[in-house]
Amino acid sequence: MIQILRNFHDHYSRNAAIHGGTPWREATVTSPAKLKIAIAIATAGRREVLADTVLFMRNQERPPEEFLICPARPEDADVETLRQAHPQLATVSSPVGLCRQRNALMAASNADVMVFFDDDFLPDADFLVEIEKLFHANPDVAIATGCVLADGIRGAGIDMNTGLKALSDAGPNRAPDRLSEVYNAYGCNMAVRLDLARRHGLTFDERLPLYSWLEDVDFSRAIARYGRVVRSERLRGVHLGTKKAGRSPGRRLGYSQIANRVYISRKGNMSLRGALEGGVWNLSSNFLKSFNPEPWADRRGRLVGNLLALWDLVRGRLDPGKIEKM
pLDDT digits (tens, 9 = 90+) for 307-316: 999 999 999 9
CA–CA dist 112, 130 (Å, integer): 15
CA angle 280, 286, 288 (to 5 degrees): 100
How large is the average pLDDT for residues 173-184?
Answer: 95
CA–CA dist 286, 249 (Å, integer): 13
Which residues are within 8 A (CB) of 85 and not within 5 positions of it... i.e. 6 or more apart? Answer: 54, 55, 57, 58
Rg of the chain's alpha carbons, rounded to an integer?
Answer: 20
Residue 14 · residue 8 · CB < 8 Å:
no
- CATH code that applies to domain 2-239: 3.90.550.10
Of 20-34, 134-148, 199-213, 286-300, minimum mean pLDDT range: 20-34
Q: Indicate the pTM of the whole model.
A: 0.88
Residue 78 · residue 97 · CB < 8 Å:
no
How large is the average pLDDT for residues 152-164?
Answer: 92
Q: How many residues does the chain have?
A: 326
Q: Tell me the pLDDT tens digit for each residue of 212-236.
A: 999 999 999 999 999 999 999 999 9
Whole-number pLDDT of residue 20:
36
How many whole angstroms from its chain centre is CA 243? 15
CA–CA dist 148, 189 (Å, integer): 9
Residue 311 · residue 319 · CB < 8 Å:
no
Whole-number pLDDT of residue 248:
52
Whole-number pLDDT of residue 154:
85
Look at residue 248 and give its three-state secondary structure: coil
Please state the domain extents for the chain. 2-239, 250-325
pLDDT band at 17 (very low <50, low <70, confident <90, very high): very low
How large is the average pLDDT for residues 252-274?
Answer: 96
CA–CA dist 261, 253 (Å, integer): 12
Cα-flanking dihedrals φ and ψ of residue 285, to 5°? Answer: -65, -45
Whole-number pLDDT of residue 100:
97
